[in-house]
Structure 1
Amino acid sequence: MDKIYLNRLSFYGYHGLFKAESELGQRFYVDLELELDLKPAGISDEMEDSINYGEVYQLTKEVVEGERLSLIEAVAEKISAQLLSNFAQLTACRVKVVKPDPPIPGHYESVAVEIYRVRS
């Protein structure tokens, strides 16, 4: 299957288990891998045969910068659900949500979750 990649999209959100996270917020990064047939777009050179990256970015931004969630697992799940419901040509998507500098004991560069969802 053909793929479109959107890497290291950056957003400011308020997700997390701790009170400070919901008050102060922090940066989140999202990587997307979108599976679809790109041959029609390659032949026609027309946007309607592909997926508009700007629309994908905006939808992802609305999720990450929107409703506060406790877990980045829930953020990833919500992004994947929105992508699959808003872009009919998608057959599957991989969503990775990265939380830099998580407030957990020890020094960590980041924590991340990655999910893969297929249209049912």
Structure 2
Amino acid sequence: MDKITLSRMQFFGNHGVFPEENKLGQRFYVDVELVLPLDKPGRSDALEDTVNYGEVFFRVKDIVEGKTFKLIEALAENIASELLHHYTSINEVTVRVIKPHPPFAVLFDGVTVEINRKQA
């Protein structure tokens, strides 16, 4: 199946279990893979025959920057649900949320949650 992938979208959000995370916020990275047929837009060269990835970016931005979640698992689930609900041409979506600086004293580059959901 064909895919549209939006990689390393950067947003500032207030997600986390600790109150200071909700107050101060931090940067998050989000990857979204959309599985959908791209043969029709490939032939027609028409935006209305595909998913507008600029619009997808702003939908994800609204969720990451406009809501607060304790868990990045819940953030990923909300993004996947919104995209599948709004774009019925998407058969499947994979969402990766990366929290590059978790608030505890260990040395690693971050935490990533990846979920995969299919159209009902």
Same fold, TM exceeding 0.5?
A: yes
| Aligned ranges 1:6-21 → 2 under 5 Å | 6-21=6-21
Letter paired with 1:67: K
Matches within 5 A, 1:21-36: 21-36=21-36
The code of the aligned residue for 2:95 comes to V
Q: Distance in 2 between matches of 1:105 and 1:52?
A: 40
- Aligned-pair CA distance for 1:108: 2.0
Matched to 1:82, the amino acid is: E
Q: CA deviation at 1:107?
A: 1.5
Runs of 4+ displaced beyond 2 Å: none
- Tell me if structure 2 keeps the 8 A contact 1:102–1:108: no
- Residue 76 of structure 2 corresponds to 76
The sequence identity of aligned pairs, in percent, is: 48
TM-score scaled by length of structure 2: 0.98
In structure 2, the partner of 1:64 is: 64
Partner of residue 90, structure 1: 90
**Unpaired segments ≥5 residues, structure 2:** none
SS in 1 for 2:105: coil
Per the alignment, residue 37 of structure 1 pairs with 37
Unaligned runs of 5+ in 1: none
**Aligned-pair CA distance for 1:67:** 1.4
CA contact (8 A) 2:14 2:68 kept: yes
The alignment partner of 2:116 has SS state of strand
Cα RMSD of the aligned pairs, angstroms, is 0.6
The offset of 1:105, in angstroms, is 3.0
Residue by residue over 1:45-67, the C-alpha shift from the partner in whole angstroms, topping out at 9 and shown as x without a partner, is 00011110111001000110011
